[in-house]
Amino acid sequence: MMDSVPPPSREMTRRSFVARSALLPFLWASLSGCSSGDGKNGKGRVAHRCPSWPASPLSPGTPLWPVRFKGYGASLSLSGRWLAGGGKDQKLWLRDSRTGRLVWDRAAERSATPGDGAEHQDNPRVLAVKGRVLAGGGDGYLADQAVALCAADGEVLWRRDIPGGQSMEIAVSGDVVGVIAQHDVFGLSLRTGEVLWRLVVSQAAGLVSHGRMFLFTCRDVESPYGAMGVDRESGDVVWDERVADSNYVDIKVADGLAHLLATRVVEEAQDDGTIVFATVPGELRSIDAETGKVAWNRSMPLSGDWLIGGGCVFVQTNDRLFALLRDTGETAWSMPIPSDTNVQLAFHEGSLFASRSGFADEKGFLIALDPATGKERWRLDDSDFSPVIPGPPGMLLANPDGGTVSALETTAGDVIWSSRFKGPVQAVTDELVYCHDGEEISVYDVTSGDPYYGQG
């Protein structure tokens, strides 16, 4: 039986929510199980007691990698020794992440709401966390609903209707599940699925948890783009920061600060009467993630990739790479970008990596920089090692989007191995690389790039 979400009251709209929203009464039971404190589920039946994750990894046996999986990368979630997913076969499952062997699978009840896609492609968002497998959204069997399964045995703990939840984001903070649906942000009890609060916000995205807060970017019809910080238990809007005239906002959180990158585009009339869109200086704004107090802001042309690491915020203009001190926004250093094409950025083991693939007559490059000074540590010219992502200690992985993937040594850029991978990289651990091409999951040994077939 599915529980429906009540419609939002007038008190739950963004404008009045700060002043009038109140914490819904609820009582948590012991964190060791998934049942309520009296062993009942609220309807007189004995609730399922979930022992969290499976008691131990599966015993040694015949390995299974690769395994068939028709679905999407967002429908996979790796949590330690366990890999969860949900695909076009309309099943949710949990596998041993080393052997690939199935722990359990569970047929999902089809949503009563039809999907928008002509083929009803099934791409739910899946998150394995705290001994649960959470899933919801997509354009098929989990459209407009969220479900929680016990990771130990696959038993359904709760199921909740989420109106407009075909495009869904899920995050967990404490004992609360945050869910972004089409025009709403929900707070659900991790244990019971009870709706603790519901906030009406148009175009919310980028849901992250930080401390006792859920943070996300947003835009309302009457307001510009910006970001919100919401108390996870009550849904109270602790802060709401908007960037005037912005057409896009991204958010990254590090060390208690929420950094907003906002771009601006304006219409410019031409002599022939046509209108073109031109990029004007955007804004980088740093906010205390708990209080919403603005620490600093910088107005500057912004384009391309950006990241946070080594005490700095790294951003790009059309022709330069800037390092801004994370706490003050002051420029630590800047350097010209070898091309006016945006570069891809990565941070790993105390180094900043800037890369660009070759195209037309221009060659690609990969540069390792000291993040504190911008001093070049090493570079590879005429290379196609872009983008790069962090690997295990001492290693970068280049070209993770599929095809020939290379492992590079972080201190000098030496190639450790190059291997043909089947599909884009979905996850990397200290031992294994997980790839998915839409049809099957393949696993590779991170030390050699060789296919990995599993072990107990």
- Helix (H) or strand (E) run with residue 417 in it: strand 415-421
CA-to-CA distance for 117 and 376, rounded, in angstroms? 49
User: pLDDT tier at 40 (50, 70, 90 boundaries)?
Assistant: very low
Give tens-digit pLDDT for 8-29: 443 333 333 333 333 323 222 3
User: pLDDT tier at 339 (50, 70, 90 boundaries)?
Assistant: low
* DSSP secondary structure string for all residues of 344-389: EEEEETTEEEEEE--BTTBPPEEEEE-TTT--EEEEEES----SEE
- Mean pLDDT, residues 123-130: 92
- Mean pLDDT, residues 295-309: 93
pLDDT at residue number 171: 96
**φ and ψ at residue 414, rounded to 5 degrees:** -65, 140
Query: What's the chain's average pLDDT?
Result: 84
pLDDT at residue number 222: 75
| Strand ranges (E), 183-274 | 184-189, 195-200, 205-210, 213-218, 226-231, 237-242, 248-254, 257-269
Q: Are strands 76-79 and 145-150 parallel, antiparallel or unpaired?
A: unpaired
Best CA proximity match to 142, nearest among 114, 170, 118: 114
> Does residue 232 sit in helix, strand or coil?
coil
Q: Thinking of the domain 1-20+64-200, which architecture would CATH place it in? A: Beta Barrel (2.40)
User: pLDDT tier at 107 (50, 70, 90 boundaries)?
Assistant: confident
Sign, CA dihedral 437-443-447-450, equals negative
pLDDT at residue number 250: 95
Cite the residue boundaries of each domain of the chain with CATH code 2.40.10: 221-302
Cite the residue boundaries of each domain of the chain with CATH code 2.40.128.630: 1-20+64-200
User: What is the residue type of 265?
Assistant: V
CA-to-CA distance for 81 and 18, rounded, in angstroms? 41
> Does residue 20 sit in helix, strand or coil?
helix
Give tens-digit pLDDT for 251-282: 999 999 999 999 988 888 888 888 888 778 99
* DSSP secondary structure string for all residues of 128-141: EETTEEEEE-SSST
Write b or e for each residue in 393-406: b if 16 or more Cβ atoms lie within 10 A of its Cβ, otherwise e: eebbbbbbeeeebb
Give tens-digit pLDDT for 224-259: 899 999 999 999 999 999 998 888 999 999 999 999
Whether 116 shows a pLDDT value over 50: the answer reads no
pLDDT at residue number 56: 67
Q: Residue with structure tokens 């993937």?
A: 405
Give tens-digit pLDDT for 395-436: 999 999 988 999 999 999 999 999 999 999 999 999 999 999
Q: Which span out of 53-57, 244-248, 296-300 was modeled with the highest average pLDDT? A: 296-300
Residues 6+ apart with CB under 8 A from 189: 26, 175, 176, 177, 196
Q: In what order do the strands lie in the sheet with 257-269?
A: 248-254, 257-269, 275-288, 294-300
CATH number of 221-302: 2.40.10, 2.40.390, 3.40.50, 3.10.450? 2.40.10
